[in-house]
Structure 1
Amino acid sequence: MESSEGGRFLRLVSEHGDDPELLEGAVRAARGRSEMVAALPEEETRRHTRALLRGVLAALADGVPGEELLAAAERLGSDRARQGVPVAAFLDGFQAGRAHLVRTLIADGRRRGVPDALLLDGVSRIDEINTALVHRMVHAHRVAELEMARTTREGRVQMLRQLLHGESVPVLAPLDPDAEYHCVVSDVSDPAVAAGLEARLAAAGPALCGLVDGRLAALVARLPAPVRTGPLLVAAPPARPGAVAPLYDLGRRALRAGAAAGLAGLRELAGLALLTVTEAEPDLGGLLASGLLGGLDRDDPFHRELAATALAYLGHGGRIEPTAAALHVHGNTVKYRVRRFQELTGGALLDPSGGTAVERTAHWWWALRHWLAAPGG
């Protein structure tokens, strides 16, 4: 652009620097193009439009966007994110304002006899500035969204920690203080693995998940379908948020017991009751093992095989075929091992009269688990 000719365009630009009609026209265009922008206070739109117009006109005169203009673009993107206006919605308004500016300069320039070539060159420079501003606005919008999401999540996870630790705190969204939730605990500490589990837990219904005491925990309205693979998860019965702390403690105890037993997948807390209690009293388990299994030698592999068969036999309610299937042996092998086990220990695993004998069966189960857990030869 020759300096003499270019001066005509610059004079045109400078005369619109504080043009109230240009400002109000751009404001109307932005609000008319985007419903979400129009829902904001009009002065809010005017404030940003004024700063951007002045900056763009100054950039046309100077040749490059100044830091003040770029900062105004960042403020617009950040403010719209905090106001809940999506990128597409506020960019619609911004581009409408840009179009109004171009139309105004072209129409006024033609009335003044400014050559079309100069006007076209000016529009090209406006588009270059426009691109730089859009990049700044979108980046600032994204940064603000991430900051808000992080702040919101941190607040929610802090509430989860306080509830699980028994602190008295207001119950806020996404939880309902009057609704009931399952407390789910896990031993997962890897954030990447935890994120995958969070998605699975939240897919079944309203949920609040986070790392509590270094491990993933959650309050979920509905449990996902049970599986027996993947990380061990222990789910307590539903309770209101203010009453989940005791269940969280029980769940952590059950988690330790389940992990020691080699369990995996989603498990109900009540189903781990006996395992949890016996795991917490190893000395009693030792006494039972000494009293009931004195005829077995831990250093004898065959005796350990007998004990494992006896434990599986109890676990399958004294039924031969399910026990054999679980151990991948023939049913007669199970019968022989059970008979030999009872000969060595001098006691019947199940009540020979066919009675329930729940307490004695539990004692056998406890003693066998403790005995097998101890190292042998």
Structure 2
Amino acid sequence: MQDIDAFLRLVVERADDPALLESTVRAARSRSELVAALPEEETRRHTRALVRGVLAALREGGEPGGEVLAAAERLGADRARQGVPVAALLDGFQAGRSHLVGLLIEQGRRLRVPADVLLDGVTRIDEINTALVHRMVHAHRIAELETARTTREGHVQTLRRLLHGEPAAVRPPLDPGAAYHCVVSDVSDPAVASRLESALAAGGPALCGLVDGRLAALVTRLPELRDGPLMVAAPADRPAAIAPLYRLARRALEAAAASGLTGLRPLTDLALVTVTAAEPELGRLLAARLLGGLDPADPFHRELAETVLALLDHGGRIDPTAAALHVHGNTVKYRLRRFQELTGGNPAAAENAVAHGAHWWWALREWIARPP
């Protein structure tokens, strides 16, 4: 008995191990395409709660507490509302469970824990997992039935088909001859999505819902949402022509998120970010050619690069750049001069200005993104 208690104490000590959490998240996403289609943070959010709950249950004698049972119910209900079938949900959950148990067995063997003690520990974990699976499946079925009975689910199914380019009858509230903006986001939490839907639908007829695990919408008019989660809005078009814009907006969303942007952004404003993000190797080649004189480990060189990038973002104008960086205009001029001395290039050269400036902008963004 002392051996099993010692082993379980060892297990519980790993409850807040980031590596354990991340490897379990990867395992869950690797076994289910539908779970992998969700934002990674969505998987991480539920996995963190379940892993901590299971380990807490082991610490308290093997009975799952109310907190972890509630976490299992939230997972089941959220996946149902996100359109993830219960089979895909269980695939991801069981993959995470198998990975977690495998790691613990490996650690126990490394510490020479007796085989019968390991078996007892795994048995306790499986008893907890069985209780969690029952709660998840029950919550998933209830949420699925509730959703299926509503008119909203029919609207969401229409939205999914339109965005995926599948045949769909366009019925009210949409008009097949009218034009709508396709809005996509990385919001996957149903509660947060519900609050944003109200703002998106305030301008007129709209369809909103979770598509591919994320909030998406077709809206008549775009609201003013400068703060809040990142969302990308495509130019307005008829519902039958919206699928290509949805795919493009998804790519722009990923690129904008990597750039740290927030709020509602027009797709056309993200054109350069989207295109350059699709070819990272070309960006590295540009940086190697144009910025070979800079050392990524030198803080002053990074300051020079950030200043020149800000200058390009402000159309080569000194005063707006200085205001954005909170420095004097002469400081911007000095940094630009030192940058030119180190790199031998002039990002603001007038000849072939558009392509020239875009190449420097791309090279600087790629170079700055490197770890020092």
TM-score by length of 2: 0.60
Percentage identity across paired residues of the two chains: 73
Matched position secondary structure for 2:172: coil
Matched position secondary structure for 1:189: coil
Q: Which residue of 2 aligns with 1:184?
A: 183
Kindly state the Cα deviation for residue 303 of structure 1 after the two structures are TM-superposed: 0.4
Kindly state the Cα deviation for residue 174 of structure 1 after the two structures are TM-superposed: 1.1
- Which of 279, 282, 294 is matched with 2:280 structurally? 282
Does 2:208 align with 1:200?
no
Matches within 5 A, 1:39-50: none
Q: Which residue of 1 aligns with 2:336?
A: 338
Does 2:288 align with 1:293?
no
Give, in whole Å, the separation in 1 of the partners of 2:307 and 2:149: 52
Contact (CA 8 Å) 2:147, 2:153: kept in 1 or not? no
Q: Which amino acid aligns with 1:155?
A: G
Contact (CA 8 Å) 2:232, 2:267: kept in 1 or not? yes
Matches within 5 A, 1:28-39: none
Give, in whole Å, the separation in 1 of the partners of 2:149 and 2:286: 52
Kindly state the Cα deviation for residue 355 of structure 1 after the two structures are TM-superposed: 5.1
Q: Which residue of 1 aligns with 2:211?
A: 212
Matched position secondary structure for 1:154: helix
- Which of 329, 348, 361 is matched with 1:350 structurally? 348
- Which of 356, 368, 371 is matched with 1:372 structurally? 368
Matched position secondary structure for 2:209: strand
Q: Which residue of 2 aligns with 1:228?
A: 226
Q: Which amino acid aligns with 1:246?
A: P
Q: 1:247-292, CA deviations, whole angstroms, 9 ceiling, x for partnerless residues?
A: 0000000001111111111110011001000011100000000000
Contact (CA 8 Å) 2:316, 2:348: kept in 1 or not? yes
Kindly state the Cα deviation for residue 147 of structure 1 after the two structures are TM-superposed: 5.7
Q: 1:293-347, CA deviations, whole angstroms, 9 ceiling, x for partnerless residues?
A: 0000001011001000010000001111110111111111111101100110001
Q: Which amino acid aligns with 1:357?
A: A
Give, in whole Å, the separation in 2 of the partners of 1:356 and 1:345: 19
Q: Which residue of 2 aligns with 1:359?
A: 355
Matched position secondary structure for 1:209: strand
Q: Which residue of 2 aligns with 1:164?
A: 163
Matched position secondary structure for 1:322: helix
Give, in whole Å, the separation in 1 of the partners of 2:149 and 2:288: 55
Contact (CA 8 Å) 2:290, 2:360: kept in 1 or not? yes
Kindly state the Cα deviation for residue 228 of structure 1 after the two structures are TM-superposed: 2.7
Q: 1:222-255, CA deviations, whole angstroms, 9 ceiling, x for partnerless residues?
A: 1112x43110110000111111000000000000
Matches within 5 A, 1:118-157: 150-157=149-156
- Aligned-residue RMSD, C-alpha: 1.5
Q: Which residue of 2 aligns with 1:251?
A: 249
Q: Which amino acid aligns with 1:259?
A: A
Q: 1:122-168, CA deviations, whole angstroms, 9 ceiling, x for partnerless residues?
A: xxxxxxxxxxxxxxxxxxxxxxxx96995211111011001100001
Give, in whole Å, the separation in 2 of the partners of 1:339 and 1:309: 11
Q: 1:194-240, CA deviations, whole angstroms, 9 ceiling, x for partnerless residues?
A: 11110000011111000000000000011112x43110110000111
Give, in whole Å, the separation in 2 of the partners of 1:168 and 1:338: 55
Give, in whole Å, the separation in 2 of the partners of 1:169 and 1:203: 24
Contact (CA 8 Å) 2:305, 2:364: kept in 1 or not? yes
Does 2:258 align with 1:260?
yes
- Which of 310, 313, 318 is matched with 2:311 structurally? 313
Q: Which amino acid aligns with 1:179?
A: A
Q: Which amino acid aligns with 2:293?
A: G
Give, in whole Å, the separation in 1 of the partners of 2:179 and 2:342: 51
Q: Which amino acid aligns with 2:167?
A: S
Q: 1:333-371, CA deviations, whole angstroms, 9 ceiling, x for partnerless residues?
A: 1111011001100011112xx456100100000000000
Q: Which residue of 2 aligns with 1:326?
A: 324
Q: Which amino acid aligns with 2:253?
A: L
Matched position secondary structure for 2:207: strand
Give, in whole Å, the separation in 1 of the partners of 2:293 and 2:149: 61
Equivalenced residue count is 228
Give, in whole Å, the separation in 2 of the partners of 1:192 and 1:148: 15
Q: Which residue of 2 aligns with 1:175?
A: 174
Q: 1:8-56, CA deviations, whole angstroms, 9 ceiling, x for partnerless residues?
A: xxxxxxxxxxxxxxxxxxxxxxxxxxxxxxxxxxxxxxxxxxxxxxxxx
Give, in whole Å, the separation in 2 of the partners of 1:257 and 1:277: 9
Give, in whole Å, the separation in 1 of the partners of 2:335 and 2:195: 44
Q: 1:83-110, CA deviations, whole angstroms, 9 ceiling, x for partnerless residues?
A: xxxxxxxxxxxxxxxxxxxxxxxxxxxx
Shift in alpha-carbon separation, 1:148–1:192, aligned structure 2, 3 A: closer
Matched position secondary structure for 2:362: helix
Q: Which amino acid aligns with 1:156?
A: H
| Max Rg structure | 1
Structure 1 portions without partners, runs of 5+: 1-145
Give, in whole Å, the separation in 2 of the partners of 1:159 and 1:241: 10
Give, in whole Å, the separation in 2 of the partners of 1:228 and 1:345: 37
Q: Which amino acid aligns with 1:369?
A: R
Q: Which amino acid aligns with 1:330?
A: H
Give, in whole Å, the separation in 1 of the partners of 2:271 and 2:314: 18
TM-score by length of 1: 0.59
Give, in whole Å, the separation in 2 of the partners of 1:267 and 1:324: 25
Shift in alpha-carbon separation, 1:322–1:150, aligned structure 2, 3 A: farther
